[in-house]
Amino acid sequence: MIPTLISLLQKVNIEEKIKNAPDQGYEIGVVIGTYLPFIVLIIIAYSTYFYFKKKEKNKPEN
């Protein structure tokens, strides 16, 4: 849902950018720049989930 919302807000045509790319390096940069933010968000979510899971597991009983 969030990637769809972000993609709708950005309105970036990646295929057109790659088609009009001056060289191979530009294409690689477009692909990395497109997917890197999502990968970073996934890593942050994964880390946060396991941090709180571990914190809950080590919580003392009352």
Domain residue ranges of the chain, discontinuous segments joined by +: 12-57
What is the structure's pLDDT at 50?
Answer: 93
Query: Could you give the CA distance from residue 27 to residue 34 in angstroms, rounded to a whole number?
Result: 11
Q: How does residue 10 score in pLDDT terms, banded at 50, 70 and 90?
A: low
What is the structure's pLDDT at 15?
Answer: 74
Residue 52 corresponds to which tokens in the numbers above? 């709180």
What is the structure's pLDDT at 9?
Answer: 57
Query: Could you give the CA distance from residue 62 to residue 54 in angstroms, rounded to a whole number?
Result: 18
- Indicate the length of the chain as a whole number: 62
- Tell me the per-residue pLDDT of 11-57, one tens digit each, with 9 for 90 and over: 667 777 777 778 877 888 888 888 898 899 999 999 999 999 988 88
What is the structure's pLDDT at 7?
Answer: 62
